């Protein structure tokens, strides 16, 4: 008896991994290819035509066709299979349309918790890790009000304002999404372990990073574009100058989202 063929969705996930791990092929180009061909799987199967159809530079297509991405893609596939993490694909019906609209959406992400929250209207609350009692109270009050209004609160799982926003939203409605700058196998910061437990049972945890990805500094600006992309608007509470929160606010403006500030 022959081995069963991978499901259509598994093949699509594999194609997303191929695009993700090919050098010099970022999420903007990945989105362009998927839009051109209708799916990552079809885009990969047509890689020999990318240059002819003026979708990528010849050097990018040549690198992809060398298939140096195969080893890292297999490694990520096996890690996720063993952990049985949830996978969200760009072509899934419940992939948030607001996230699809940004220039560089992730072609796939890993999730843990209540996937149905992706269908809800979302507003992000971000701010300083070291914040005043006033800032904490404002974050809690705003998150509580949004939760009671049926809005899902999105934040970045950091200490300070992020933690207050997640906690208040979970307490009042159970609707909160945490966007990580690490893989799902790592609770960072460790002091948020209690919040992690609440989110995976009541809310949703989402990351584009595979298991094993540590909290490297360059991960967090990438995370911030997802926070903005998921949300109708971004509320910034007590953000420090040159902070990740202000990066999120800038991205939100670029994404044509509303931006609000609590001084």
> Chunked in runs of 10, what are the mean pLDDT values of the chain (263 residues)?
67 98 97 98 98 97 97 97 96 97 98 96 95 95 96 97 97 93 97 97 97 94 96 93 86 96 86
- Cα separation, 20 vs 120, whole angstroms: 27
Cis amide linkage into residue 189, ω under 30° from 0? yes
Cis amide linkage into residue 72, ω under 30° from 0? no
What's the CATH code, domain 112-262?
A: 3.40.50.450
Burial pattern 9-41, b for ≥16 Cβ within 10 A else e, equals eebbbbbbbbbbbbeebebebbbebbeebebbb
State the pLDDT at residue 244: 82
State the pLDDT at residue 4: 45
3-state secondary structure of 223: helix
- Region at 212 (left for phi over 0; alpha for psi -120 to 50; beta for the rest): left
The answer to whether the CB of 162 falls within 8 A of the CB of 156 is yes
- Cα separation, 212 vs 76, whole angstroms: 9
260 forms bridges with which residues in the sheet? 235
State the pLDDT at residue 251: 94
- Cα separation, 213 vs 184, whole angstroms: 9
State the pLDDT at residue 47: 98
Give the CA dihedral 168, 174, 177, 180, nearest 10 degrees. 70
Around 41, how many Cα atoms within 13 Å sit in the side-chain half-sphere?
Answer: 11
State the pLDDT at residue 5: 56
- Cα separation, 60 vs 81, whole angstroms: 29
The answer to whether the CB of 89 falls within 8 A of the CB of 9 is yes
**Could you identify the residue written with the tokens 């996937």?**
115
Angle between helices 27-37 and 8-21 in degrees, nearest 10: 140
State the pLDDT at residue 1: 34
The answer to whether the CB of 241 falls within 8 A of the CB of 214 is no
Closest CA to 166 of 140, 148, 135, 197: 140
- Cα separation, 168 vs 187, whole angstroms: 20
State the pLDDT at residue 174: 80
State the pLDDT at residue 186: 96
Annotated domain spans of the chain: 8-84, 112-262
């Amino acid at each position: 008896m022959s081995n069963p063929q991978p499901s259509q969705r598994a093949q699509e996930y594999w194609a997303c991994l191929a695009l993700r791990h090919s050098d010099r092929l970022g999420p903007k180009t990945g989105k362009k290819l998927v839009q051109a061909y209708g799916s990552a799987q079809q885009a990969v199967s047509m890689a020999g035509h990318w240059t002819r159809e003026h979708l990528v530079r010849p050097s990018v297509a040549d690198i992809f066709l060398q298939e140096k991405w195969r080893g890292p893609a297999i490694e990520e596939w096996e890690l996720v299979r063993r952990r049985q993490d949830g996978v969200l694909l760009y072509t899934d019906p419940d992939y948030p349309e607001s996230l699809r609209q940004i220039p560089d959406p992730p072609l796939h992400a890993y999730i843990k918790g209540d996937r149905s929250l992706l269908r809800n209207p979302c507003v992000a609350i971000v701010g300083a890790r070291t914040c005043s009692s006033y800032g904490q109270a404002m974050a809690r009050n705003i998150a509580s009000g949004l939760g009671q209004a049926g809005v899902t609160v999105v934040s970045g799982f950091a200490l300070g304002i992020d933690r207050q926003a997640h906690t208040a939203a979970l307490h009042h409605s159970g609707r909160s999404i945490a966007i990580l700058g690490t893989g799902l196998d790592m609770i960072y910061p460790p002091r948020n372990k209690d919040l992690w437990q609440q989110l995976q049972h009541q809310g949703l945890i989402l990351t584009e990073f595979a298991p094993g990805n540590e909290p490297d500094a360059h991960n967090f600006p990438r995370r911030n574009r997802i926070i903005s992309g998921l949300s109708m608007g971004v509320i910034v509470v007590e953000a420090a100058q040159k902070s990740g929160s202000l990066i999120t606010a800038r991205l939100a403006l670029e994404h044509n989202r509303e931006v609000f500030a609590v001084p």
